[in-house]
Amino acid sequence: MNLIRLLRDVDRSLLIGIGGGGDIVSTLPIGLYFESLGIKCIYSGVVWERFRRDPKPGPRSVNELLNSRKISETLCYVNADTRIRTEKGLTQPIVSIVSEYLGKEVVGVDITKPEVLRSNLSEFVSNEEVDLVVGVDAGGDVLARGNEKRLVSPLADSIMLYVLKNLPVRSLIAITGFGSDGELTRMELEKYLSEFIEMNAIVGCNIITKDVAEEVIDVALNSFTESSKVPVISAMGRFGFHEVWDGNKIFISAINALVFYLDAKAVYERSPLARLISRSEDIVSANEKLNTAGIKTELDLELELDADRKIVNSKSSNK
């Protein structure tokens, strides 16, 4: 079934930013497209801020979000006043920034307990009469196999891919930005997408148009996200090299404004990482499974940064 035919039967869709906290920003252009077709959208995203904004390693749990409304053990409604308490003070997570932009609550997703999340999300889509769930990944690293040289954040994607393939309704993976996170090269992405075309697992593709980009450009530029910013500025006509994180540069063009929609179960079947972390009770055990396979994750990186920071602080206090 192609995307247009599939969407004709959809009344309500849940859009989830599945990677770091910034991926929820990439749900916005997709939501505008869906809403133009008469589809009601619920916006949501994983609550995991970059280390520079939230120096506590790992994602945040529902219980750590201030001024939110609890839905279940791993889901909550986030509003413009939702905050995270850090040692630097209160920080507004990106899910809250998006809620403020939309003028309505969004759903915060806690990935610290994958099996509980799978159950909670299944119950949520049933209660909310959701017809289609779309996991939105800025960059496309959800397609990674684990041997890519620049891969640094496979954990959140793997957990969410496992969760999405087990839902009681149709689930898709939407790839935006085409390498906008700098983790997969264009050649790697083209190879993987070609494999999915051969499997008949790509259900459609659309482009973020300039009028849509103009509608979301402000929140994209002011949400502390690099990966979700790229598809929007690409849709505005940006062409050339662009710095995404830590000095890493990628070449961007109109290609980065494309959105590819893939069947979530097919992506899961081709993902050794998501299959490896299947049935993990918590994020620590999921991370350990990837580490055992020789794969370093974003959680490992944050733990290292935290350890280094504590050493520096200790030396400073002893002077």
Alpha-carbon span 183 to 42, nearest angstrom: 28
pTM of the model: 0.95
| DSSP conformation letters of 50-112 | -TTT--SSSPPPGGGEEEEEE-SSSEEEEEEEEEEEETTEEE--HHHHHHHHHTS-EEEE--S
Q: How many CA atoms lie within 13 A of 66 on its CB side?
A: 9
Identify whether the C-beta of residue 221 lies closer than 8 Å to the C-beta of residue 236.
no
Terminal Cα-to-Cα distance of the chain (whole angstroms): 66
pLDDT of res. 220: 95
pLDDT in tens, the chain (319 residues): 689 899 999 999 999 999 988 999 999 999 999 999 999 999 999 999 999 899 999 999 999 999 999 999 999 999 999 999 998 899 999 999 999 999 999 999 999 999 999 999 999 999 999 999 999 999 999 999 999 999 999 999 999 999 999 999 999 999 999 999 999 999 999 999 999 999 999 999 999 999 999 999 999 999 999 899 999 999 999 999 998 877 788 999 999 999 999 999 999 999 999 999 999 999 999 999 999 999 999 999 999 999 988 777 766 666 6
**Quick one: pLDDT at residue 246?**
72
Sign of CA dihedral 235, 143, 274, 287: negative
Task: Report how far residue 88's alpha carbon sits from residue 168's, in angstroms, rounded to the nearest whole number.
Answer: 41
Return the pLDDT at 172. 98
Q: What is the pLDDT of residue 311?
A: 78
* Domains in the chain, CATH or no CATH each: 3-317 (3.40.50)
State both tokens at 67.
């001024």
